[in-house]
Amino acid sequence: MSDTAGNHEEAVRVLQAASAQIELALHQSQAPIDSLGESLRRLAALMADPAQLERPESLAMMRADLLRAITNLQFHDRMTQHLQHVRDYLSGSATHMAEQDADEEAWRRLHNRLHDRLLSETQRMHLGQDFLLSVLAREHQQRDSANASKPGDIDLF
């Protein structure tokens, strides 16, 4: 396979993996963002009516909504981290594509870096089957060539 064709295939994998990660980040953030908006709406309504603030149950509702809002902001922070990892991956990929002599090892390191930086197994699963198969096949091939046993040898675990 020529270097140009190899870079083209890697570019396709990179774009598919990044697209899947962006889609997942947006999907995972939607419910927390909706909940945050609802909490802030309830807090604003409570604060708009001074008589409501004097009731003990209103204070409890305010505390609950503030805690819910804080939790949902943490989900927003997680989404931001996720998207920063995807941005770094795309930036690194663009650098490799610009280098005409980017080798397989450089691509593998870049792919593994994204895989390792993702925050959850769900995010890793959304890298896409082609991406994961490519990374795993390369790792398997390298492991086999580095650890090739002589015929008749037994591997112990």
Torsion of CA 52, 57, 60, 66, to 10 degrees: -40
Q: Apex CA 29: angle with CA 27 and CA 136, to 5°?
A: 60
Predicted local confidence at residue 3, as pLDDT: 62
Which of 85, 80, 83, 78 lies closest to 114 in space, CA to CA? 85
Q: Mark the ranges of the chain whose per-residue pLDDT is less than 50.
A: 148-157
In the chain, the amino acid numbered 133 is L
Predicted local confidence at residue 139, as pLDDT: 56
pTM over 0.75: no
Predicted local confidence at residue 152, as pLDDT: 45
| pLDDT tens-place string over residues 95-134 | 877 776 667 787 788 778 888 888 787 877 777 655 655 5
Q: What gap in Å lies between CA 65 and CA 73, rounded to an integer?
A: 12
